[in-house]
Amino acid sequence: MHESGGSHVARPAAPPGGDGHFLSVVVPLRDEEDNVLPLTTQVQAALAGSPWPWQLILVDDGSRDGTSARIREAVAASPTHVSGAILRRGFGQTAAMQAGIDLARGTVIATLDGDLQNNPHDIVRMVRRLLDDDLDLLVGWRRARRDGLLRRLPSRLGNRLIGLLTGVPLHDYGCTLKVYRAAVLRRVRLYGEMHRFIPSWMATLTSLDRIAEEEVSHFPRRHGRSKYGAYGLARGVKVLLDLLTMAFFVRFRASPGHFFGRIGLACGGSGLLVLAWLSWVKLGEGAAIAGRPLLLLGILLVVIGAQFVCTGILTEMLARTWFEAAGAPAYLVRETVGGVDDDAPSHRRPRAARERP
């Protein structure tokens, strides 16, 4: 292994398969020393008959037990298929997952929990459906979830709320077992605790018709306790804030001015109506309005509306600057058909990401 970007990395050298596909399985781990080797054994057994070459990437997210040592053992036992990334400290599940995705070489990427509650034998079936049905994302659905009520009830409420706000209705956003088309997933950058919202982020780049879900097995935890899934008020607040942020980006990423502009027009319009009515009261009826709280409210609404409209204009400028500076197109090409010249000037800056058929 060698050191790169704060991680120790070992990469397999297996070439893509005959159909052009290569499978990468990414597993974030924190304090899972008892599960690393059994998990590796299960994944190897599940993928032994895989029609595609594959790699398993184990990411140690700052574990304080022997997880990193177990990862090194797993890599030493099967260096052609297993690789590891040991982060310098605990950055969180989202960052650990992103680290594994960045290291993945596959055209198809699967993510898996490291607690043995997901079934690796579901992976091949899910990858086959992803490719056969021409999907970009297939989400695992733990219909018979083997967790306590205190974990299942908040999860159900959260899934419904996420689906309502984002327009991507799924039964189980929290299931880590998902299979992605790498060409689309690599256009999504994960920050904070956004891993649970990946389907919603993917929906900004692909059609909802290319996102589906599949029932998967779920087992009770055998060793230790979850380091990522603890529920509490603090975590609920974080999830809610992330949800609001994600909902904003899903709906208004390319046109944030529409979001702030709507609020500004609503506030400003309401304020103008209030002031118009007070003007009629003053001029038409001759009544005094100087001491009325409604006058201050009307003025305040107009000022707030103007501020929101100005904020919308500024965010539009920032969004356009970001798209230009980052070379990030506002679209993602699935494929080109016919006489499209890939070297044409319109395809050079910015260059749209294209996936292999």
Give the residue with greater pLDDT, 28 vs 353: 28
Selection from 150-154, 172-176, 242-246 with the highest mean pLDDT: 172-176
Asked whether 137 and 201 are in contact (CB, 8 A), the reply is no
pLDDT tens per residue, range 293-343: 899 999 999 999 999 999 989 988 887 787 677 666 666 666 666 655 544
pLDDT at 8: 44
Confidence of residue 11 (pLDDT cuts 50, 70, 90): very low
The answer to whether 116 touches 91, Cβ cutoff 8 Å, is: no
The encoded tokens of residue 314 equal: 């500024």
User: What's the confidence (pLDDT) of residue 228?
Assistant: 56
How much is the CA Rg of the chain, to the nearest whole Å? 25
Total Cβ atoms within 10 A of residue 281: 16
Q: What is the mean pLDDT of residues 281-287?
A: 84
Percent of the chain scoring above 70 in pLDDT? 77
Sign of CA dihedral 180, 203, 162, 251: positive
What share of the chain in percent tops pLDDT 90? Answer: 41
Q: Does domain 2-250 have CATH number 3.90.550.10?
A: yes
Provide the residue ranges of all domains of the chain, joining segments of one domain with +.
2-250, 256-329
Cβ-contact 216, 129 below 8 angstroms:
no
Distance separating alpha carbons of residues 280 and 302, to the nearest angstrom? 18
pLDDT of residue 344: 45
pLDDT digits (tens, 9 = 90+) for 213-263: 999 988 776 665 665 554 445 566 666 777 777 777 777 777 888 888 999
Residue 199: is its pLDDT beyond 60?
yes
Question: pLDDT (tens digit, 9 = 90+) per residue, 56-85?
Answer: 999 999 899 899 999 999 999 999 999 999
Q: How far apart are the first and last CA of the chain?
A: 33
122: number of CA atoms within 13 Å, CB side? 25
State the average pLDDT over residues 116-128: 92
Exposure class string for 291-323: b at 16+ Cβ within 10 A, else e: eeeebeebeebbebbeebbebbeebbeebeeee
